[in-house]
Amino acid sequence: MFNAATIWQVVVNGASLSAIYVLVALGFTLLFGIMRVVNFAHGAFAMLGGYALYYFWGRFGVPYVIAVPLAAAFVALVALIAEGLVFRWFYQRMFESMIALLGLNLALVYSAVMIWDVSERSIPPAFSGLIEVGGLLLPKDRLMVICIAVVVLVSFWVFMTRTRQGLAMRATAQDLEIAETQGINTSVTYRIAFLIAIFMTALAGALYAQIYSLSPFMGDRPLMVAFVVVILGGMGSIPGAALGGVILGFTESFLATFYGASVSSFVSFGVVIALLIVRPWGLLGTPDGARA
Amino acid sequence: MTIQRLCVTALVTALACFGAWPVLALEELKIGAIGPLSGGGTAWGLAINRGTQMAVDEVNAAGGLKVGDKTYKIQLVMVDDAYTATGGRTAADRLIKLEKIRFIIGPIGSPSVLGALSATDPSKTLVLSNGFAMNILKNESRAAYNFRTIDTTNEFAPAMIEWMHRKHPQVKKVGMLGTNDATGQAVLPMLTEIYKATGIDVWTDSFDRGSQEFVPLITRLMAQGVDLIDLNSNSPSDAGLIIKQARQAGYKGLIWQVGGPAVPEIMEIAGPLAEGFMSLEMFDFSSPIGEKFAEKYHAQWPGVINAQVPLWYNTTKILFEALRRAGSTDVEKVRDAVKATEGYDAGVIGPVVWGGQAKYGVNHQLLVPVWIAEVKGGKEIILEKITPEKR
Amino acid sequence: MTLVMRIAGACLVVLAAALPFIDKDGFGVTVGTIIALNMIGATSLHLIIRTGHVSLAHAGFMGIGGYVATLTLMRLGWPFPLNLLAGAIAPACLSLLIGPLLLRLQGKYFVLVTFMLGEILRLAFLQWSSLTGGANGIFGVPAPGPMFSSQAGFYWLALGSSLLCIAIVARMLTGNMGRIIDSVRDSERLAQCAGIPVLQVKVAAFVLATGLVGIQGGLTAHYLQYIDPGAFTSVQSLSFVVMNVIGGMRSLFGPIIGATFMTILPELLRGYVEMQHVIFGLILIAVMAAMPGGVVDAVNRARQFLSRRTRGGNLDSNLARVEARQ
């Protein structure tokens, strides 16, 4: 089993898994980093992104390159309603946000069940077929996700570090009151951060639904993954989410291929627990009086 | 002319009222149903709900169910069990104590059935359920008040695997990916035993239900050199994704499912990659009976019909027939009548055959004929019909 | 606790005990049993919350208790109350071992670590089939002795155990011990400076709490006469947390109210088959937005508001107003 061909395939699989995981975790960590909100409805927004793509690309035939960001933007705009009605009451209040967003998740998921029925659907693939390089196989749609993940990460990093709005967001995250005294309109900043976070979540959800399948319950796994990635990388850190996603993706690929799924789960959980005990702020997070 | 019209209208109206009168004056008999209406198992819960409802609607439209010298209007009360043991128990308690129900259809998941039995057995409530655990029929009380009306792996697998060995003798090793839950853990050992007895080597691994990402496991499976993948009792979603990802990983061998069935859903998820996939089918939707059933279903609900719907319809019809024959709503009499329904044909599945003595100690397992289907040219076609052995 | 409250409490207990007579083999006793069982978990978790930590592993410890109680009864032949005791001691031992390590972590990290811990415990229950029966669990758990095998009998057992647990937790939260616990939650550094062994206090609360919830695990196995990992998932742990948050995290009445509310609500919503989960979700949002301190806090505010109205603003109520704003 441990031959060169399998090992290379494991690496390729790991890369595609990492890309998916990173995308899925970005929106989640942004919401926590800036607004200290644990978005338990993360999976629900990803699911909505999936259904949006199903309609724009699958039913209305919008060209793929436009359909994907359009679906994400559509969900982000509609989510503003949720922002005004639900999220706004819970900024900076971690525990209350957890429960309220849990409620929002239930409401969204079961509304989806009533609207769309429980059966799984598939979104027609944008690129089908495989790329074969020297015996290694990679489905084209997964390669596309890797490319999109890189593009999203880079553009997001540029936005946060090189633009005024990005600077405003980082300042607001560090200290709300001081940022306000500096003249930053924090409620606008929060709203922009919310839009970007949900945009990325819905985008990840759309791609996720296309690679796997679409159903009202599909969001459970992205939520779990986002949690683990963000714990690994550090809550609120974007490079952390990238690093966490890569570590999780490659570890899962390696362990599950060579040792089976249960070993992979146990080890992943064990490592995360150990990390939380030894270095709770994650690999790239900032320690903030984490330990007594 | 107008007077004539008036008279005809009056006559017709009077006849209609007269025709409806018996139903209006009917006493109500409630029957209960339990199934998952939340979480990942919702598709099956809806199958119980709809299959049972179809039978209920039919009997009510025909004027009610005649039991002894009374005719009853049937009312269905369905409760969600959230696919857990506590859920099944609470649902059963609610139906028995609050709704005063004595006849229950479902649940489907083993934990839920076992949880429900702790309430239904002591209160002598009749249960017609699914659930793969042996304990459901093979227990201390010898399944005194419950029956299983859908085939489990024990019933359909031996004949199917024998068929595979006959048609594809080149298959030497089978790989199975199963779920880490009650069904998966019950089913994998059963199938392993049967494959080995047929001379086919077996490799298995398990995963968390709903994990969706199988590429690492498939890489692992392909390194074992299997020439057949058996999707056993995986959910439609997991099964469809395994097929899609296995083909994308370059797997060239056979893929089939001794379980499910979920062929339409799998075709939806795997698309053209489902070509050549073979599966258990519990109902022949392409037959004239099947088409009529589908028509009736689609008059009320859109979308893909879950394969279990006709089976629950059949179950409910058997219950009604037993009630009719018993001539009373006394549970013990109805239970004995259920046992005696051998040969009764509800019109969808074929005649009732009770079996299971050899494996469970009681003949409370309904032996339902099954079919083997294949996806050819983007359509599901039926290959062969298989009748489980009466053991 | 004023005299009025004590009398009211006693009346409630008497009513609860009389339930099987009021509601003859009705569904009320079933719901009452589940409420009593859930109260054990909710109030024991409350003890941990009062020290400033929210644990998402509580259902995992409940599972350990359940399996140990089942196995000591069925495989080792231990008699009835003894197996429950074993089911209480086992999770307590585990938390004694890992508590000192985990409780050093600050709030949000403790939540995450316990979430992972809960998942690992669930996987262990699932995979260790030779011991736990795996996903199919252990069937045929006998009833807890002839006295408690009837519907009403088991209800009284559950009610009695529940009241015992509540009494134990209440004892810990009142008097000197209660003040120590509150000071640990309010300001760890200050408590440490005052000479309080902060970590020991947290571990003690954690050990006691996990031991108590182990009893709920054992009782649940006896109730269903079946035990499987499906009852000990993060969903159940989250349920206990929600019971505390909705009822109120600052008072023992919180989890009591929360457990009752969370058990009854799904039963009330059953009529709306399709909508029930949507309604439940919306209720959670509304309660969190309108009553962030939980029901207990809302009731307190209402009382203060009323007393201000009637007494017209004397020193006591002004102080109360200042306190309420903090």
Once rounded to an integer, what is the mean pLDDT over residues B356-377? Answer: 91
Instruction: Give B163→chain C minimum CA distance, Å.
Output: 30
Contact A261 B241 (CB under 8 A): no
List % helix, strand, coil for chain A (3-state, nearest 5).
Answer: 75, 5, 20
The yes-or-no verdict on residue A4 having pLDDT over 70 is yes
Contact A217 B213 (CB under 8 A): no
Q: Strand, helix or coil at A234?
A: coil
Q: Strand, helix or coil at A84?
A: helix
Q: How far apart are the first and last CA of chain C?
A: 22
Contacts of B94 in chain C (CB under 8 A): 27, 30, 267, 270
Residue A249 lies in a domain: no
DSSP character at residue B351? B
Once rounded to an integer, what is the mean pLDDT over residues C249-277? Answer: 84
Alpha helices for chain B (secondary structure H): 2-24, 42-61, 85-93, 110-120, 153-167, 182-197, 215-222, 236-248, 263-270, 288-298, 309-326, 331-339, 357-360
Decide: B40 and B49 in contact? Cβ < 8 Å. Answer: no
CA distances from C224 to A94, B32, C79, C130 (A): 36, 20, 18, 21
| Amino acid at residue number A117 | D
Half-sphere exposure of B133 (CA within 13 A, CB side): 28
What confidence tier does B9 reach under pLDDT thresholds 50, 70, 90? low
CA distances from C154 to A26, A236, C36, C145 (A): 50, 49, 11, 10
Let me know how long chain B is: 391
Q: What is the pLDDT of residues C7-55, one digit of tens each?
A: 888 888 888 888 888 877 678 888 999 999 999 999 999 999 999 899 9
pLDDT of C92 reads 96
What confidence tier does A289 reach under pLDDT thresholds 50, 70, 90? very low
The closest CB to that of A273, out of C104, C116, C245, belongs to C116
Short-list A231, A269, B213, CA closest to C124? A269
pLDDT of A292 reads 36
Once rounded to an integer, what is the mean pLDDT over residues B123-138? Answer: 91
Q: Best residue in A144, A213, A220, A225 to probe B by mutation, most B CBs within 10 Å?
A: A213
Residue A121 lies in a domain: yes
Q: Which residues of B touch C (CB under 8 A)?
A: 37-38, 78-80, 83-86, 89-90, 93-94, 97-98, 110-111, 114-115, 118, 133, 135, 139-140, 180-186
Once rounded to an integer, what is the mean pLDDT over residues C226-242? Answer: 90
CA A267 to CA C193: how far, in whole Å?
40
Q: Best residue in C136, C149, C220 to probe B by mutation, most B CBs within 10 Å?
A: C136
CA A231 to CA A268: how far, in whole Å?
12
Rg (CA), chain B: 23
Structure tokens at C277: 């989960």
pLDDT of C317 reads 55
Secondary structure (DSSP) of B221-284: HHTTT-SEEE-TT--HHHHHHHHHHHHHTT--SEEEESS---HHHHHHHHGGGGTT-EEEESS-
Short-list B233, B248, B264, B222, CA closest to A211? B248
Residue A251 lies in a domain: no
List residues bridging with B66 in a β-sheet. Answer: B71
Q: Strand, helix or coil at A235?
A: coil
Contacts of A104 in chain C (CB under 8 A): 281, 285
pLDDT of A38 reads 81
CA C290 to CA B338: how far, in whole Å?
54
CA distances from B71 to B67, B328, C31, C124 (A): 6, 11, 34, 53
Q: Who has greater pLDDT, C209 or C301?
A: C209
What confidence tier does A290 reach under pLDDT thresholds 50, 70, 90? very low
The yes-or-no verdict on residue C259 having pLDDT over 60 is yes
The yes-or-no verdict on residue B19 having pLDDT over 60 is no
Residue A277 lies in a domain: no
The yes-or-no verdict on residue B10 having pLDDT over 70 is no
CA B123 to CA B106: how far, in whole Å?
17
Interchain CB contact of C316 with B (< 8 Å): no
CA B260 to CA B183: how far, in whole Å?
11
| Amino acid at residue number B14 | A
Residue with tokens 């890489």: B219
The closest CB to that of B212, out of A124, A212, A258, belongs to A212
Decide: B219 and A135 in contact? Cβ < 8 Å. Answer: no
Decide: B78 and B48 in contact? Cβ < 8 Å. Answer: yes
CA C1 to CA B298: how far, in whole Å?
62
Decide: B382 and B263 in contact? Cβ < 8 Å. Answer: no
Half-sphere exposure of A166 (CA within 13 A, CB side): 10
* C118 contact partners, CB below 8 Å, separation of at least 6: C56, C57, C58, C59, C60, C233, C234, C237
Decide: A147 and A162 in contact? Cβ < 8 Å. Answer: no
Contact B86 C129 (CB under 8 A): no
Cα–Cα–Cα angle for A147, A150, A151, rounded to 5 degrees: 85
pLDDT of B4 reads 60
Q: How far apart are the first and last CA of chain B?
A: 70
pLDDT of A70 reads 94
pLDDT of B26 reads 78
Q: Who has greater pLDDT, B315 or A220?
A: B315
Q: Who has greater pLDDT, C256 or C315?
A: C256
Decide: B288 and B262 in contact? Cβ < 8 Å. Answer: no
Which structural domains are found in chain C, ordered by start? Answer: 26-276 (1.10.3470), 291-326 (no CATH)
Q: What is the pLDDT of residues C150-194, one digit of tens each?
A: 888 899 999 999 999 999 999 999 888 899 999 988 888 888 888
Let me know how long chain A is: 292
pLDDT of B8 reads 54
Interchain CB contact of C273 with B (< 8 Å): yes
Decide: B105 and B128 in contact? Cβ < 8 Å. Answer: yes
The yes-or-no verdict on residue B319 having pLDDT over 90 is yes
Interchain CB contact of A269 with C (< 8 Å): yes
Q: What is the pLDDT of residues B163-210, one digit of tens each?
A: 999 999 999 999 999 988 888 888 999 999 999 999 999 999 988 877
Residue A161 lies in a domain: yes
Once rounded to an integer, what is the mean pLDDT over residues C282-302? Answer: 83
Residue A237 lies in a domain: no
* C130 contact partners, CB below 8 Å, separation of at least 6: none
Residue with tokens 């039913």: A59
- Sign of torsion, CA A259 A260 A266 A268? positive
Q: Which subunits sit against B, judged by 3+ Cβ pairs under 8 A? A: A, C
Instruction: Give A187→chain B minimum CA distance, Å.
Output: 36
Q: Exposure string (b/e) for B39-76, b if CB count within 10 Å is 16 or more? A: bbbbbbbbbbbbbbbbbbebbbeeebbebeeebbbbeb
The yes-or-no verdict on residue B18 having pLDDT over 80 is no
pLDDT of C171 reads 92
Considering chain C, what is the average pLDDT of its residues?
A: 87
The yes-or-no verdict on residue A291 having pLDDT over 50 is no
Peptide bond into A125 cis (omega under 30): no
Q: What is the pLDDT of residues B73-103, one digit of tens each?
A: 999 999 999 888 988 999 999 999 989 999 9
Short-list B219, B240, B233, B231, CA closest to B304? B240
Q: What is the ipTM of this complex?
A: 0.82
- CATH number of this structure's domain B153-281+372-386: 3.40.50.2300
Topology, domain B27-151+288-352: Rossmann fold (3.40.50)
Structure tokens at A26: 């970005």
CA distances from B28 to B164, B276, B364 (A): 49, 50, 28
List residues bridging with B104 in a β-sheet. Answer: B32, B127
Chain B neighbours among A 100-119 (CB < 8 Å)?
110, 113, 117-119
The yes-or-no verdict on residue C268 having pLDDT over 90 is no
CA A264 to CA A270: how far, in whole Å?
10
3-state secondary structure C80-92: HHHHHHHHHHHHH
Q: Best residue in C228, C273, C274 to probe B by mutation, most B CBs within 10 Å?
A: C228
Enclosing domain of residue A166: 11-218
Residue A279 lies in a domain: no
Contact B114 C137 (CB under 8 A): yes
The yes-or-no verdict on residue B59 having pLDDT over 90 is yes
The phi and psi torsions of B34 (rounded to 5 degrees) equal: -125, 135
Decide: A135 and B222 in contact? Cβ < 8 Å. Answer: no
pLDDT of A1 reads 67
pLDDT of A277 reads 84
Chains A and B: how many Cβ contacts under 8 Å? 98
Structure tokens at A262: 């249960």
What confidence tier does C311 reach under pLDDT thresholds 50, 70, 90? low
List residues bridging with B177 in a β-sheet. Answer: B205
Residue A178 lies in a domain: yes
Structure tokens at B23: 């139903």
DSSP character at residue A88? G
pLDDT of B313 reads 96
Contact B217 A257 (CB under 8 A): yes
Decide: B103 and B318 in contact? Cβ < 8 Å. Answer: no
- Sign of torsion, CA A272 A274 A277 A278? negative
Contact C135 B184 (CB under 8 A): yes
Once rounded to an integer, what is the mean pLDDT over residues B109-115? Answer: 91
CA A87 to CA A96: how far, in whole Å?
10
Once rounded to an integer, what is the mean pLDDT over residues A91-111? Answer: 85
Decide: B316 and B55 in contact? Cβ < 8 Å. Answer: yes
Question: What stretch(es) of chain B map to CATH 3.40.50.2300?
Answer: 27-151+288-352, 153-281+372-386
* C294 contact partners, CB below 8 Å, separation of at least 6: C244, C245, C246, C247, C248, C249, C250, C254, C257, C258
CA B321 to CA B65: how far, in whole Å?
9
Structure tokens at C205: 């609360």
Residue with tokens 């196989």: A137
Contact B80 C140 (CB under 8 A): no
| Amino acid at residue number C6 | R
Q: What is the pLDDT of residues A20-78, one digit of tens each?
A: 899 889 999 888 888 888 888 999 999 999 999 999 998 898 888 899 999 999 999 99
